[in-house]
Amino acid sequence: MPSPVGHTFAGICGFVLARPYVAWHQQTRLLYGSLFFTNLPDIDILPGLLLLGNPGAFHRQATHSLIVAALIGIFVAWLVGRWRLNRLRWGIWAALVYGSHIILDMLVADPTAPFGVQALWPFSLEYFISPVTIFARFDYFNPELGMVRTILSIPNFLGILWEIVVLTPLVGLAWYGFGTTERRKPLGR
């Protein structure tokens, strides 16, 4: 999987693409929402870390499912409907921002089995990975190094640099190609 930095770049793209449709005083919330939803699938690191001392024990499973992304979209649609906002648009936006995490994880060169993510959980326990991988795996834990030294390792640092090189043009494209400052019809209404 890419690092949280790589996923954050995807969240910034989600923010930039929706930003023209949101009033300026709501854009900070939009940014926080984008960053939250794009990193949310990695919440599965916590049970392994807290219960077993291994952050990878449950990683890349249920929370890395496109089905869960759709459920997140449905939840957001329900939630924003209570605020009288456009349910369909915000539900699709949340599902896509959440789903960007899963897509990025499928583009990782995964050196250990099982390879990829359980993208169709709960309907399939099979792991899926792209035949073309462009990111290095970000490791949270190596028993020989411990968690902190693993996170701060040179391979992780180099992987983060590569994510920045690959994803910065996408943020730029979103910003300059689609994220114009021209006011558009609000997504919320």
Residues 133-165: tens digit of each pLDDT = 999 888 777 767 777 788 888 888 999 999 999
107 pLDDT more than 60: yes
Q: Rg (Cα) of the chain, in Å, rounded?
A: 17
> Could you give the CA distance from residue 10 to residue 181 in angstroms, rounded to a whole number?
20
99 pLDDT more than 60: yes
pLDDT level of residue 17 (50, 70, 90 thresholds) = very high
> Could you give the CA distance from residue 166 to residue 61 in angstroms, rounded to a whole number?
25
Give the orientation angle of helix 87-106 with respect to helix 27-39, to 10 degrees. 40
Model's pTM, two decimal places?
Answer: 0.88
The per-residue b/e assignment along 37-71, b for 16 or more CB within 10 angstroms, e otherwise, is: bbbbbbebbeebbeeeebbbebbbbebbbbebbbe
Closest residue by Cα to residue 48 from 37, 39, 60, 36: 60
Computed over every residue of the chain, the mean pLDDT equals 89
Over residues 48-63, the pLDDT tens digits come to 989 998 888 898 999 9
All structural domains of the chain with their residue ranges: 4-178
> Could you give the CA distance from residue 109 to residue 132 in angstroms, rounded to a whole number?
8
Rounded mean pLDDT, 25-43: 96
